[in-house]
Amino acid sequence: MWALIFFLAGAALVFYGVGLVRDARACANWPTVQGRVLSAEAQVVSRQKDKSTYAPNVSYRYEVDSKDYESSRLTIVPRNYSSRQSVNEILISYPVSGTVLVHYHPKNPANCMLDTSTTGSEWAYPIGGALMIGVGFLFLKG
């Protein structure tokens, strides 16, 4: 039973991760359109004893083929920071009511982002999925 659970969860992660890696490689070449920033703030994503983790939360609106879209996706993989100051330095680039360049997937304009740079963290999903499949094989042998 455990083997099947690890196989299925691992396969789902691999499937999702391969799409993420594909998008990470392609997004810099996606079409672009001007968008307008609706809000930009530092968001607390985790609190532990004396430590908080922050992420930039930027909402924006844009139009593709006469259809309006809204999104808050900044990068291909969300990035978290250990200091609010680091996030505030990023948010300077996204003033409320300011314009931004939105990169959108040509076949699915709702799939978009503002920053197309990658850190390699998109590989964590398919690698993690492959590891889970490997654990599933260990359960089969056990």
What is the pTM (predicted TM-score) of this model?
Answer: 0.79
Structure confidence at residue 47 (pLDDT): 84
The number of residues making up the chain comes to 142
Name residues whose C-beta falls within 8 Å of residue 138's C-beta, 6 or more positions apart in sequence: none
* Least reliable range by pLDDT among 34-43, 75-84, 128-137: 75-84
pLDDT tens-digit series, residues 79-133: 889 999 999 999 999 999 999 999 999 999 999 999 998 888 889 999 999 999 9
Amino acid at 99: T
CA distance 86 to 40: 14
142 pLDDT higher than 80:
no
Name residues whose C-beta falls within 8 Å of residue 37's C-beta, 6 or more positions apart in sequence: 58, 59, 60, 94, 95, 96, 97, 98, 99, 100
Across the chain, how many H-helices and E-strands are there? 3, 5
Q: Which of 118, 103, 29, 17 is nearest to 60 (CA)?
A: 103
Q: Which of 129, 124, 138 is nearest to 11 (CA)?
A: 129
Q: Which residue matches tokens 């999925």?
A: 129
